[in-house]
Amino acid sequence: MWYLWQWFDKAVLGMALLRLLSGSIEILAALIMLKVNEVGKALVVNSMLAMVGPLILLTTTAIGLVGVAHRLSFDKILLVFLGVLLILMGVRK
């Protein structure tokens, strides 16, 4: 019996699985919007979905940074976090 973590880097596997989960949630939300067939309810589903995206972004970035932390200086890690913060600020406003 083979295991995924034997074939892939643990950080990459975690990031990929989170992105698969995120994509599945997006598809499920689209199907729910089609099922309810009302603009108001679809907006509610969309707003709930808007909370998932940034959470997945932060989590995958954190996993990736943990995976490369031994190769990067503290300054570069800080720059990545600042970049993610700027992306989140730009999306919110």
Quote the pLDDT of residue 2. 61
| Domain positions in the chain | 9-92
C-alpha span between 93 and 37 (Å, rounded):
29
58 pLDDT higher than 90: no
Average pLDDT over the chain, rounded to whole? 87
Question: Please, what is the Cα angle at 53 between 82 and 81, to 5 degrees?
Answer: 10
Per-residue pLDDT band for 42 (boundaries 50, 70, 90) equals very high
Per-residue pLDDT band for 45 (boundaries 50, 70, 90) equals very high
C-alpha span between 49 and 25 (Å, rounded):
8
Quote the pLDDT of residue 65. 85
> Can you tell me the mean pLDDT for 59-81?
86
Q: Does the global pTM surpass 0.85?
A: no
1 pLDDT higher than 60: no
Quote the pLDDT of residue 19. 94
C-alpha span between 17 and 64 (Å, rounded):
13
Greatest Cα-to-Cα distance within the chain, rounded to the nearest angstrom: 50
